[in-house]
Amino acid sequence: MAWLFGFIVICGAYSTMIQLNSKQALSGLVAQWKTSGKTIGVVMTMGALHEGHLALVEAARKDNDHVVATIFVNPKQFDRAEDLQNYPVDTASDLEKLQAAGVDAVYLPTPEDIYPQGYATKIVATAMQDCLCGATRPGHMDGVTTVVSKLLVRTGADHAYFGQKDYQQFKLVERVAADLDLPVAIVGIPTVREADGLALSSRNRRLDREQRAQAVAIPEALKSAAAALHSGKSWDEVRAEAEGKILDAGFSKLDYLDLRRESDLSEVLELKEGEAVRLFVAGFIGTVRLIDNLPV
C-alpha cells in the first residue's frame, strides 16, 4: 500500500482531485479502480492548459467512470532546444482548471519517473511518418509515440483522447495502439478555436499582440483554400494563393502546406467524391511554430 503515501488530494468546492507524481502511486490508484470494475479515460497534455485540452477532458468525463489527466513536457519530442526551454509552464493554474473540469487524478511525472536510468526503448510507427511534422521535426513523432505508449500502459486507460489539431499525432497513436494490441480506444476530438478561428495552442501564449493578430492568417487561408478547392480551382493554384496569404501576413517560413487523405496521410492532388481529405499547415511566426489543419 506504499502508493497511498505517494499522492496529494486537492479538495475543491465540487470535486476532489488526486495528484500523483510517481509510477507507483499511479498504478496503485489504477489497480483500485480496475478491481472495482471502473472504466478509465486519459487525457495526455504538456500543460499550459486551454479550452482545447478541456474539450478532451469533457469527452473523457462523458465516456468513463474516472478521468486521469497527465502533464508532462516530454523532452524526447522536442527537436529544438529553444522550443523546450521556452515551453510555457503554468502548473498551479493547470491544476485549478483540471479540478474544475472534474478530473479525478492528475499524473505529473518527472523525466526520471518516465525515463529511469538505463531507459533504452523507442516506439516508432513506420507508416505516416515521412510527411508533415514527422518529416520536418526529426525524432518528434517517435518521442510522442514512445511517451504515449508508456502512458497508455501506466494509466490502463479504456479510452484515450487526442485533439485532431495534432492530426498526424492522433493517426500515429491510433496505429501504434492497434499494432501493439493495446486494449484502449483512441478517440479524436475536433479542434477548438478562438472566436477569430485561430486554433487554441499552448504556444499561442508566446505570441506578442502583433503576432497574435497575424496568426489568424493560418485559419483564414485554410478556410479560403477549402472553398477554392470545392469551387474547382487546381491544388497548385490554391496552394500558391494560401502560401502567399500566410507569408504576406507576417509568417517568416512555412514548413509545409499540404493536401492529404485522412485515411493514411498520403498526398492528394484533386478532390474526389467520397474521399476524406484535409489541408495541413505548419509555419513560423518569429520563433513560434504554429500548426493547423482543416477538413476540406
Residues that bind ligand AMP (CB under 6 A): 45-46, 52-53, 55-56, 162-163, 165-166, 189, 191-192, 199-202
CB count in 10 Å sphere of residue 170 = 18
Please say whether the beta carbons of 127 and 88 come within 8 A: no
Q: Which of 70, 73, 74, 72 is nearest to 18 (CA)?
A: 70
Residue nearest ligand AMP, CB atom distance: 163
Amino acid at 73: V
Least distance from ligand AMP to the Cβ atom of residue 93, Å: 14
Phi and psi, residue 135, nearest 5°: -85, -30
C-alpha cell at 98: 483540471
The CB-of-192 to ligand AMP minimum distance in angstroms stands at 4
- Helix H or strand E encompassing 259: strand 253-261
Q: Return all residues near 152 (Cβ < 8 A) that are at least 6 apart.
A: 42, 160, 177, 182, 184
Q: Catalytic residue, from 50, 53, 66, 230: name it.
A: 53
Supply the minimum distance, in Å, between the C-beta of residue 202 and ligand AMP. 5
Q: What is the smallest separation between the CB atom of 293 and ligand AMP, expressed in angstroms?
A: 11
Select 192 or 226, whichever has its Cβ closest to ligand AMP: 192
Q: Considering beta carbons, is residue 8 or 89 the nearer one to ligand AMP?
A: 89
Question: Is residue 159 flagged as an active site residue?
Answer: no
Measured from the CB atom, the residue of 201 and 235 that comes closer to ligand AMP is 201
Nearest to 33, CA basis, from 70, 75, 3: 3
CA distance 281 to 83: 18
Cβ closest to ligand AMP, residue 27 vs residue 202: 202
Catalytic amino acids?
A: 53
